[in-house]
Structure 1
């Protein structure tokens, strides 16, 4: 009795579509075998009987095989009464499962199973712009968007939406953060600057706790929290308060439509900032000589990064060492 109960429990643990599919297949096979035995002249082989059972319960009814005897017709009636209900239930279950899956996807409840994807934290105009740029630069790159304010997924190609608090492990696990390539944390537009930075740093700590090797870019709105973001393990800190103020002041000083030039800095337009290691042939050369050589490959040398010190447009006589990195503007 215990073994029988275990079998029943195991059966009911199967997903409903699997159970209905198995029952339908069993009905087709059993009645196909029975009809081939009862009417061997009309159904010479078991396969002919199975074909008739399948066509009959699916309500297609080609009429190429038809039982002739009363017993055969009675078997057909029983099969229709039993089988048609299960076939209807089968298609209804499949349809309901598909609709439920779609609704779960839109609601952000479906876990992402891909790898080497980019995770963007927070939905706002900046996130939308980043997604559009990444689609142009890397059209096949998968993106996972995590946000707890959206009611439904923004239906954008190659963007998988996960609804939830990004400072909770379960949310990050649904985004498959272990297999992610990088994470970009945008400031929460619904909070004041201080609270937004504190929330971003909390998310950063959670990300690094789950995946210490994850490359993390974080947006910081206040000077006071920049050091805390660094201590929390940020690989790159975008101080938007500085970037915005510098761009605005430069536009004011230029007074000649400088803001239109900023759009060309978008990677989607084919122009990229890159930090590259120094090639052996450039070691010991001046900034001027290195600039001339890089121009041959359509790259503009704009600065040198030496450890934590960054120099943009250094003196032309500046000597480049093997430990330096080159900051270039390239296609």
Structure 2
């Protein structure tokens, strides 16, 4: 009774194996069985069991080398049965393998495959700002970056040829973030949803931020906020940086009206792929206690223009020349 139960359990488990695995096992069983049979039917033509198995594999694969051929009626009848059944299973196996490969590729394109890497960059939302951001960081890096894009509106990965892994889903849901392996991410960038109005987009960004920080409190997050009233909420939700897109645009427009052509200058300074760039540099030991004026002259000799200091979260542009550099300062510079 126990043996019957055990056999039934084995059959039940086998039936629930993946189709490709089941077909492969059946092919092996057929080849080994027919290899044994042809050896015992024609021992002169097939001196060993291995020779029989070799003949069965070659026959089912429709290669037909001809080095081993049955000569008796019984042996040839066995070969006919092997060709009819074995070749069918082999063909089914390769068709299933190809179909599985295509299905897997489609799953990758459609954002249905989880990401397993670590220290990657997660970008939430898709728009032209995100496209340009990804283009810039990929161009700046000397090695391929691991980037995961999360979006609920896209049907397929828009950047499948640029080493971007796509996850389709609502970023407010834990399961979507876990599929992107947010617990092991290095950065998370949250872009405002362009399909919603500004207030709804900001509320969605804050909710997404809460979900991200709930799963990985230590990940560095950058959130795009459109309305000034939601900036404080984004900071409360744990955003390490808040980018106020509308405010940036307003400032650029104002500067362009006050000084014609200023927008192109600002864009050039912020473009990481063109000319000199705005950067933060850490203070070195020999800089501590130096005045802003003296350090500016020293850095000019290295073709670096010092324009400000970031101190305890506040940025001072063109501070008084007598300002002393402190150990925890960051230097705001323009350099190549």
Shift of 1:264: 4.5
Give the alignment partner of residue 172 of structure 1, picking from 161, 172, 177: 177
Q: Is the 8 A contact 2:222 2:239 kept in 1?
A: yes
CA distance in 2, matches of 1:7, 1:17: 18
**Number of residue-to-residue matches in the alignment:** 331
> Given the alignment, which residue of 67, 70, 76 partners 1:67?
70
Is 1:152 aligned with 2:156?
Answer: yes
Moved more, 314-323 or 204-213: 314-323
Q: Using the TM superposition, give the Cα deviation of residue 179 of structure 1 relative to its aligned residue in structure 2, in angstroms.
A: 1.3
**Structure 2, unaligned stretches of length 5 or more?**
none
The 2-side partners of 1:258 and 1:191 are apart by: 27
Q: Deviations over 1:14-65 (max 9, x none)?
A: 2111111111122222222332332233223333322221121111222222
> Aligned partners of 1:189, 1:142: CA distance in 2, in Å?
25
1:209 matched to 2:214: yes
1:136 is displaced (CA, Å) by 0.5
CA shift for structure 1 position 257: 6.0
* Cα pair distance change 1:69/1:264, threshold 3 Å: farther
Distance change in 2, residues 1:213/1:257 (3 Å): closer
SS at match of 2:80: helix
- TM-score of the superposed pair, with normalisation by structure 1: 0.94
Aligned ranges 1:215-294 → 2 under 5 Å:
215-256=220-261, 258-259=263-264, 262-269=267-274, 272-294=277-299
Go from structure 1 to structure 2 and tell me whether the alpha carbon gap of 1:270 and 1:173 turns closer, same or farther (over 3 Å shift). farther
Consecutive unaligned residues in structure 1, runs of 5 or more: none
Check whether the contact 2:252–2:262 (CA below 8 A) recurs between aligned residues.
no
| SS state at 1:268 partner | coil
After TM superposition, where is structure 1 displaced by more than 4 Å over at least 4 residues in a row?
none
Match of 1:140 in 2: 144
8 Å Cα contact 2:269-2:278 kept in structure 1: no
- Return 163-172 or 59-68, whichever deviates more: 59-68
